[in-house]
Amino acid sequence: MSSLATRPVDAHTARSVPRTGGTASGWLGRAALGLGGLVAIVAIWWLATALFAGPGTLAAQFSPARAAAALPSLITEDRLAVHIVTSLRRIAIGLLWALLTGVPLGFLIGRMKALDTALSPTLQFLRMISPLSWMPIAVMSLGIGDRAVYFLLAFAAVWPLMMSTAAGVAQIDRRWLQLGESLAATRAEMLWHIYVPGIAAHVLTGVRLAIGILWIVLVPAEMLGVSSGLGYLILDTRDRLAYSELTAVVLVIGALGFLLDFAARLAYRRFGLNQVEQER
């Protein structure tokens, strides 16, 4: 039984979707514009610190030149790579727990209207509570360390995954479900050949949103008494009054977050193009 969940596209829609990610010249043009914007922002940052911060002032330590100069010592002396790997591991584990919780729950909510009606007020109430509000409770319940961090990250990431999955299930065309039933498909076949292809794009959207939320929550969550991670490194550089190194860590956090979001977007685009090719 072939995958049936996605709707067939007409000829006009199929022609309107490019087969590749764009021409090389178009990609290079967009990359050049993005790089030009980044250079402009760094230039404004450098100019602001040069004009409004004296050479010996505290504000001068936050200049881009000082941050770039502090980066080698972060790598060699403060073991920046170890902190990065630790933070990425926590992100992966938090996202995994959110996937294992949010996707099945979202699937049930999308399939069962009664369950959606019963749980919607409670879930909306919990969703509106900031994950950081649970920090004291997480520490008292799970102790100081990784378990509390995992809980906060999973709690932050579960909502976009659950809502995206529920939306994907609700938007599956009923005709595909009826077709699968008419072909005497088993529940496993219905799940694998209809529901999974039908909600995969929505789940990937939820993953991208979840990664953005996780990366924001990660830094304060890693201030819960752990001895490694980028959040810990922020506190460590602050306590040592190493503000140039602190600025460098902030830039590293931004760069890693950008790369994670880029990877999520790339996965979504590749899946979308594959779906179009299958529909053709």
**Tokens encoding 126:** 């919990």
**Tokens encoding 223:** 């201030």
**Tokens encoding 157:** 């990431």
Q: 74: helix, coil or strand?
A: helix
Give me the domains of the chain, ranges plus CATH numbers: 64-279 (1.10.3720.10)
Q: 7: helix, coil or strand?
A: coil
What are the distances in angstroms from CA 158 to CA 104, 126, 199, 256?
11, 11, 16, 21
Average pLDDT across the chain, whole number: 79
Rounded Cα–Cα distance for residues 18 and 45 (Å): 38
Per-residue pLDDT, averaged over 195-223, amounts to 86
Can you give the pLDDT at residue 245? 87
- How remote is the C-alpha of 32 from its chain's centroid? 25
Choose the most confident range, by mean pLDDT, from 64-73, 110-119, 158-167, 234-243. 158-167
Can you give the pLDDT at residue 14? 40
pTM beyond cutoff 0.85: no
Which pLDDT band, with edges at 50, 70 and 90, does 6 fall under?
A: very low
**For 47-97, how does the pLDDT look when each residue is reduced to its tens digit (9 = 90+)?**
777 777 666 666 667 777 788 888 888 888 778 899 999 999 999 999 999
Per-residue pLDDT, averaged over 147-164, amounts to 92
**Tokens encoding 15:** 């022609």
Can you give the pLDDT at residue 11? 39
- The residue that leads in pLDDT, 5 or 46, is 46
